[in-house]
A and B are shown apart, each in its own frame.
Chain A
């Protein structure tokens, strides 16, 4: 199955969007149904139960509160592997996917990632890409994903899965947008932009 779309955020810079989308903590918070998202060493040997128990009670500050330098320190790294536990409601079922994602390429303003997730009766394999494009009024996030789905969710077909995927994606970018709007309000956005640019 293939999905693609463009999400537009007004009155932000590509650098700000890049910073936001670099932060595993922010991603976790914005991704509906995501219970944790954490870096792992060996993608083939992930103990999801242990990771779930290790989760700290509170995340460090994220945008708009976090300092860009702190985010940069913990940002996704090319070649890095990340484990996530994601619950997604698909039709009448609500599987929890144990997901491992690898950042295949990461070079401003584009990022590609691939991964796979498995739940009780379903699983998926995916690759995805995202490019930030500066526009007159803000930023277009152009994204695409290709997924193979297996088991129970596969049987529901694109008819059911497409709306679910679209819902997850739009809620995710919507939350990111909310954070960035806060950043724009609270901060001198030019200042943040410069600080991010320096980091890049």
Chain B
């Protein structure tokens, strides 16, 4: 990487007082690198059986009959189940409701109809994995194929209905902003620009496929499910209803989880089936998705068809923005599907700009593709993409420099908290700072000069900007409830001293690659003033952690981290009262600094918090009314979202003869508030940008006219390799969030949100001499070449 890359440091070389904000090495890496980590598929239990799922080969068909007799007769087959065997509700619920939402049944095994290629029809339980898959092959399903549709616009316009409860394949109709005010703004505007774009379906591609191991004890009725989850408590709540098992007898545990990018938030049929079949056969059941199954059944992301317009007055001030989107929801409503193209999308359409009138309409459509739900960024990349593509076209229309057009329309520094026209209030921001830093890193004026010179030589360079905004840590719960969430969006934590002075910190988030073991320990060590190595972090187990909402939407630092601060502060307050008692002073006279309680003005009369912990468990000399022990539990419900922002910029060169895109620079200046660990922040930006570039240039879930997935393997679906990703030059500014105790925002999705439009804007800028205004992602060489040549191929 570049000289701007953050150097990691050994935690032993960091003073305890400086641990928060240090780029210490991730403590989880040795296990992940050596193979000591335990993934779900590593779990082996005595008498364990294996489950495999019979899936629909058709995207849309009625089921006329299922013959399982040959499968049942096979050696090593323990049981075969179809929809008619399911004796529990077996219907996957939706976790977010909208006023106009048409809820549809989503059975864990299809009964009379399948609606996407991969829809589950039957399961086999066998003594070993290959036997289970062989038996699945022996199940004969008699199907009548129906017409399939994969485009949301076609589904709404012409296709036959997928669900009786959703006429015209409409899942919902939703709007935000002020239609009348926006029309008026457009009527009085001097200039407008518009775009029609597709934000293509993306397959998440977590490195570890989804998996579950379920173990049932008939005597105690305890059902333990180890599974690939980003939110164990949420999965416990949902699964308890789906398979009708009491919540307190259901344990969900996340072993090491190899990535999720959103795809392991949702409650799928397979994990519920593993749990239910374990109760049926009274033996442990393991299910591990094959790579093909992850391509066919993991909830996909994006899938928008959008028309957007922007209006400006004479001097290039934005006066209005309107957007109409048809959003692909796939065959059924996945767990948070209704929220993603609505409240996580429409609310971000003001971008970094002061736009006085905005209106957005979204229609959700059922189609014959797998359910579509949150994928890294979830709604916010789609919003940022529309806004930044429109801004690019608007600047061009105004014949203004795109950087200066942005600067002119930014929400000014003194306007925060800033109320947008789309129902959110930005907490803090200094947008010009990231723009200026990016321009400086790019050597922008020099670049424009080089670009002019290059064009004279028949070389096509372009720069693309992405002034992105994101909203992390969806909150507060009361607001989420008003918007339709069927869950709270707080986080819980428990901070517990052991008598010897070490600490275990429990949090209801559930890391799956983010480095929470490291960053949470930094937070707790800092709050308690103890050694970083003395803090252990536990996540991902409903039997150990009081409650939790999980890890998604870049919420863990802002919400989970703040919950840990809150519990740590409660622990300090209890410790203060014990210290005051033992030091024979009043609590008000006890100061706490770097782990030490001392009497104000008498530094010799002191006790370290670890000594207090020992005293708290000895309980020989406690204040009246104070219980023994030293631990605290908290639920933290934030006042608002946090709004990270930044400026990403790409410089590319296009070969007009081949359409090939080559990166010259990729610059990312992010402001994610205070940084707990700058190395982890940098890593999140790198990974996020790589996925964003993947969407911009390579990735797309493509289907034929029958809804058959044409990109169903890593040979056919291009996840970018290291060679496809440019060297990234990263820097950051720090604008703390004013409303959480850490001043943090969120960084998990920033790169993925920012990158696509930086790349597309750069390519379109390079192709300006050819009159190319827009190319839909992914920008494969052929598409770029066609765009050049359909416009004459000559400038």
Point out residues on A near B: beta carbons under 8 Å.
120-123, 125, 148-152, 154-155, 157, 159
Contact = CB atoms under 8 A, between A and B. Distances in A.
A155 B58 contact: no
B57 A121 contact: yes
B706 A155 contact: no
A154 B292 contact: no
Contact of B57 (A122, A125, A157, A159): A122
B712 interface: yes
8 contacts: A150-B117, A151-B57, A151-B117, A154-B57, A155-B292, A155-B295, A155-B708, A157-B716
B296 to A, nearest CB: 8
B137 A157 contact: no
B102 interface: no
Nearest to B54: A121
A148 B148 CA distance: 13
A155 B137 contact: no
Contact of B713 (A123, A151, A155): A155
B709 interface: yes
Contacts of A148: 704, 706, 708
Interface residues of B, number: 16
Interface string B714-729: 0010000000000000
A150 B144 CA distance: 13
A150 B708 contact: yes
B710 interface: yes
Nearest to A158: B710
A155 B710 CA distance: 5
Q: Name, among A125, A149, A152, A154, the residue most crowded by chain B CB atoms within 10 Å (CB to CB).
A: A154
A6 B117 CA distance: 35
A159 B702 CA distance: 14
Interface string B127-147: 000000000011000000100
A123 B704 CA distance: 15
Nearest to A152: B57
A154 B137 contact: no
A151 B712 CA distance: 10
Contacts of B706: 148, 150, 154
Contacts of B709: 154-155
Interface of B: 57-58, 117, 137-138, 145, 292, 295, 704, 706, 708-710, 712-713, 716
A154 B704 contact: yes
Contacts of A149: 708
Q: Looking at B57, B145, B712, which has the most chain A CB atoms within 10 Å of its CB?
A: B57
Contact of A120 (B137, B710, B713): B137
A123 B710 contact: no
A196 to B, nearest CB: 40
Most B Cβ at <10 Å: residue of A125, A152, A155: A155
Nearest to A95: B137
Contacts of B710: 154-155, 157
B137 to A, nearest CB: 4
A43 B244 CA distance: 44
Given A148-B706, A152-B57, 10 more contacts: A148-B704, A150-B57, A151-B117, A154-B706, A154-B710, A155-B708, A155-B709, A155-B713, A157-B716, A159-B716
Nearest to B716: A157
A87 B295 CA distance: 27
A68 B709 CA distance: 47
A151 B709 CA distance: 9
Nearest to B706: A148
Contacts of A157: 710, 716
Nearest to B142: A118
A65 to B, nearest CB: 40
A151 B114 CA distance: 13
Contacts of A125: 145
Nearest to B59: A150
Contacts of A152: 57, 292
A99 to B, nearest CB: 16
A159 B717 CA distance: 13
A149 B704 CA distance: 10
B716 A150 contact: no
A155 B296 CA distance: 10
B231 to A, nearest CB: 30
A149 B295 CA distance: 18
Contacts of A122: 57
B82 to A, nearest CB: 17
A129 to B, nearest CB: 20
Contacts of A155: 292, 295, 708-710, 712-713, 716
Nearest to A122: B57
Contacts of B712: 155
A150 to B, nearest CB: 5
A121 B139 CA distance: 10
A154 B58 CA distance: 10
A150 B138 CA distance: 17
A122 B117 CA distance: 11
Contacts of B295: 155
A152 to B, nearest CB: 7
A154 B709 CA distance: 7
A132 to B, nearest CB: 31
Contacts of A151: 57-58, 117, 708
Contacts of A123: 57-58
B22 to A, nearest CB: 47
Nearest to B57: A151
A125 B137 CA distance: 20
A150 B58 contact: yes
**Looking at A151, A152, A157, which has the most chain B CB atoms within 10 Å of its CB?**
A157
B341 to A, nearest CB: 27
A126 to B, nearest CB: 13
A77 B718 CA distance: 48
Contacts of B716: 155, 157, 159
Contacts of A154: 57, 117, 704, 706, 708-710
A155 B57 CA distance: 10
